[in-house]
Amino acid sequence: MGFGPHLLLASLEGLVTAAVLSLTALGLSLVFGVMRVVNVAHGEFFMLGAVLAWFFSTLVTGHPAVGFLLALVLSPLVVGLVALICERLVLRRLSYDPEATIVATIGMLYIIQQLALTFYGPEARPVLAPFNFRVALPWFGYSGYKLAVIAASIVLMGMTWFVLTRTRIGLVMRATQFDRETAQNFGIPVDRVYAIVFALGAMLAAVAAVLIVPIQQAHYLMGLDPLLLSFIVVIIGGLGSLRGTVLAAVLIGLSDGIISVFFSPTLAKMIATLLVALVLVFRPQGLFGTVAR
Amino acid sequence: MTENRNKTNILSRTLDRRTALKGLGATAAGLAVGPGFVRYAQAQSSEPIRIGFQAHRTGIGAAYGRWYERTTTAAAKLINDAGGINGRPLEIVTEDDGTDPKRGAEVVEKFANQHKVDVVFGTLFSHVVVGSAPTAGELKIPYYVVSEGYHVASGKLNRYVFQPGITDVKAQVSSMAPWVSSNLGKKVTMIFPDYAFGHDHRDFFTAAMQAQGGEVIQHVPIPPTESSFTRYLPQIPSETEVLYHVMVGPGVLTFVKELGEFYGGGGPKLFGFIDSLEAVDIASPGLEFLEGSHFWEGMPRYLQPDAPDYVKAYRDAVGIDDNGASKEDGKDVSTAAHMFGCWETLYVIKAAMESAGYQGPDDRAKLVEATEAMTEFAAGPEHPQGDKKFNGKIHQCFGHQNISQVADGRLNVVHTTSIEDGMYEPEADYTTQSL
């Protein structure tokens, strides 16, 4: 295969990674940005989204698209509900204390993973893609569904951006993020905002997971990779910055795709880690983050 | 019990009858409850033989573990129905190793020290075998693995590790290379997992193709944690005639699907190890392009027209239908190409224990020597996959391999190798190690 088509394939693969990663990382970034909670269980919400997608898609028969759409709607809702319960039962009782919430979310990670193992089992199970369309390029074929994932991610990111910057809910969130006490003094129900943000963060991870199951299958151990990559993205992009998260996700996704195609996947991971180190040394708040006050 | 009665008789001279009876009862109760004592006093011949089954219940080997467990349970039931081992019932004690080498070693230790099993048996994934073998050697507990890697036959493990129920990768690939080079093509690209099991394929298949006048023009190793594979496919040179693929773990279905998306109907001829599709339904959407391609199978997944009765009996006992899926759930596809190894290994343990006159853990050294003394296993109900030769020096068996072709969404055997095709010069001799 010539250099051009090779690069094209690497970029496409990188964009699929970036698409899913930006949604997942945005959830993590949002939770930290607004609540100052480092959610170590974020990868498990991702996994839960995938596992539930398998469950909902098997409930219906007929065209695979029906099951997939059902999963796309229901799976994030259920994950959001689980996150809401976790927030009410655990994080709130710890008063969102940074150290305590790290330990608590590690606990949540193990509990969710074990529950998935108990009720879903250790197998990797596929969810049928809503459509099987092979884009035949002159040099190689490419999955039409993967291209659709990139498009879906762009639409979802746009929607999130709209909610955060153009709606009252977004305004309230940003106010809470900017200064919790002042927001409370202005009558913003900070407590309720936190609950919604935590659920929303988990739902973003779940949506990303539903999009990826037809490509990768659902497995109870699948939460670890997205968690690590999300942290890398969030550190590079700047915590709580939508723009930074998207840019860093595209950067990491594309470099992962291209470097691992032309060199080795290990080198891609090394470079990502090196980037994190450089960002932490020269710009600790991330590329687009603001200095904490 | 005779001793007890005599004792009581002596005592009853000075005690009244009621106290004597009470004392007798208490002694009997004490004997029944006391750990360790009852075994030697009365149950020498009826105490079960305990086999520790190291199972991949969770982790990436779970699909294999599920079927290894079903096969083991079925074989143990048959052995017990036929009178057990040396007249003693067989008891399988199962522990999950999470398909993890560290936990594997812990499980072996637990079997030896806590469950007090006689031998350990059953594990598949090569990294777990390699991780657990030293512990088995230190504890001097025989460890019968049902793996595939060359680790046992290479001599790198120790005298307590055996692989008597399934052929190793070196024998598998060298027996099939002649068929591949004369039927599919001579320029091969290999895609394999980047750890011990995959490296065995890389080293031995490359050498075997060279011996046939063929050539492996490109190696594409894939890291074990990878869940998406398209990015590796451009590394396959366009002059490739045969694409040799062997992948394992949860990503297998994804791998084969992406291969199909990449090549569509075109591309090189495919020769896969069934590991790339083990426990996956060949009729899954997106796998249509596999039609006409070939796979290695240790034992055929689909019931072949010429299958002997003992193969049918084996399939019934394990609970798989003509398509190799669970009789209860047609979507639950078995790991037929590997799991027969559990069945056959249990029967090897039985034969070795009987020939050694095995009574308990003190006879473990005798059991090792009895296993090493074995040379042949005849095809039949105890060895449904076929006859095998066993080399006691390298603790490894050699058997037949099947090459199957996908036609109408099922696998039909088109070639079966002879045992001699896979024989190689042993590189080790475990019998020189002290017990």
Residue B2 has pLDDT above 60, yes or no: no
Q: What is the pLDDT of residue A124?
A: 85
| Over residues B291-319, mean pLDDT | 96
Buried b (16+ CB within 10 A) or exposed e, A193-221: bbbbbbbbbbbbbbbbbbbbbbbbbbbbb
* B264 vs B86, residue with greater confidence: B86
Tokens (6 digits) for B417: 């190798």
Give the best residue of B225, B226, B231, B329 to mutate against chain A (max A CB count within 10 A). B231
What residue in B sits closest to A144 (Cα-Cα)? Answer: B261
Taking the C-alpha atoms of residue A86 and residue A80, their distance in angstroms, rounded to an integer, is: 10
Domain boundaries, chain A: 3-282
For chain A, list residues with pLDDT below 50.
293
pLDDT digits (tens, 9 = 90+) for B256-303: 888 888 988 788 999 999 988 898 888 887 788 889 999 999 999 999
Please report the pLDDT score of residue B16 as a whole number: 60
pLDDT(B193) > 80: yes
- Residue B234 is nearest to which of A9, A128, A143, comparing CB atoms? A9
Q: Report CB contact under 8 Å: A10, B231.
A: yes
In degrees and rounded to multiples of 5, residue B394 shows phi and psi of: -105, 5
Least confident of A216-225, B83-92, B381-390: A216-225
| Best of B230, B233, B253 to mutate (most A CBs within 10 Å, chain A) | B230
Q: Which residues 114-133 of A have a C-beta within 8 angstroms of B?
A: 117, 121-124, 126, 128, 132
The interface pTM score, or ipTM, of the predicted complex is 0.79
8 Å CB contact between A200 and A167 = no
- Please give the structure tokens belonging to residue B370: 């009895």
pLDDT of res. B26: 52
CA distances from B172 to A151, B175, B208, B388, B402 (A): 45, 6, 10, 13, 9
Q: In whole angstroms, what is the distance from residue A58 CA to residue A130 CA?
A: 13
Instruction: Give the CATH architecture of domain A3-282.
Output: Orthogonal Bundle (1.10)
What are A164-183's pLDDT values in tens digits?
889 988 888 888 888 888 88
Asked if B254 and A261 come within 8 Å (Cβ–Cβ), the reply is no
8 A C-beta contact, residue B249 and residue B278: no
Domains and CATH numbers, chain B: 3-167+308-399 (3.40.50.2300), 169-297 (3.40.50.2300)
Residue B37 has pLDDT above 60, yes or no: no
> Model confidence over B127-147: pLDDT tens digits?
999 999 999 999 999 999 999
